Amino acid sequence: MAEPATTEPATTEPNGGQTTPPATPPAVDPVKSAEEIQQEFLSDLGFQSADELKAVIDSQKAAEDANKTEVQKAQEELAKEQASKGELNDQLLNANAQLAAFKLGVSNDHLADAVALAKIENVDDIGKGLEAVIARNPQFTGQPVNNPNGSAVVDKNLGGGNQSVTAEEFKSMNYQQRVELFNVNPTLYSQLNK
């Protein structure tokens, strides 16, 4: 037969089963000098001295400053290019407007005026603006324009020259028509007003 296993009786320690700590703690220097703390910190970062760390920080700042100036230079170049592009776009729009005006029959003498008025008339569609301007100003196409009295106004008779109003027509003019004749052709007005 097998014998039953025996166990040894449990022992209890006098402090209630807890082990007691050693009488003296391990040797730890509770007070480190500031230099020692700084040196530990620097060595943890991988540097030998504070001057070495400062040199790395200064070089990083210089690199950032150089990058900022490079970025600023790039921004200035971009602004110049955008301004140049804007000028080229304006020139292209103006050239297209002049071409459209030529196609509509605007004379070279009135080209700049017609284009400027068309831009004001219709900013979105220069062609429609030119059509409206020419409708109001047919002289831009070289077509003669009539005075209120029906006589033609062309470059040759604006300052005098050929008599376009007879004495009978002058007598039948109202005051406004006579003022207009005086403004257009003062010499003829003086001759007819005798």
Domain boundaries of the chain, sorted by first residue: 41-141, 144-194
- More confident of the two residues 54 and 15: 54
Give dist(CA 106, CA 114) in Å, integer. Answer: 8
The label of the residue with tokens 């170049």 reads 77
Are 191 and 154 in contact by the 8 Å Cβ rule? The answer is no
Q: Which of 24-28, 34-38, 84-88, 134-138 has the lowest mean pLDDT?
A: 24-28
| 48 DSSP assignment | S
Are 126 and 93 in contact by the 8 Å Cβ rule? The answer is yes
The per-residue pLDDT for 158 is: 43
% of the chain residues with pLDDT over 90: 5
Are 148 and 177 in contact by the 8 Å Cβ rule? The answer is yes
The per-residue pLDDT for 78 is: 92
Give dist(CA 125, CA 118) in Å, integer. Answer: 9
What is the average per-residue pLDDT within 60-66?
A: 85
Q: CA Rg, the chain, in Å?
A: 51
Give the ranges where 7-49 is alpha helix by DSSP (H). Answer: 34-45
Residue 153 φ then ψ, to 5°: -110, 115
Q: For residue 157, give the nearest of 134, 178, 186 by alpha carbon.
A: 186
The per-residue pLDDT for 79 is: 92
Give dist(CA 186, CA 184) in Å, integer. Answer: 6
What is the average per-residue pLDDT within 57-71?
A: 85
Are 117 and 104 in contact by the 8 Å Cβ rule? The answer is no
The label of the residue with tokens 């150089």 reads 66
Contacts of 186 (CB under 8 A, 6+ apart): 160
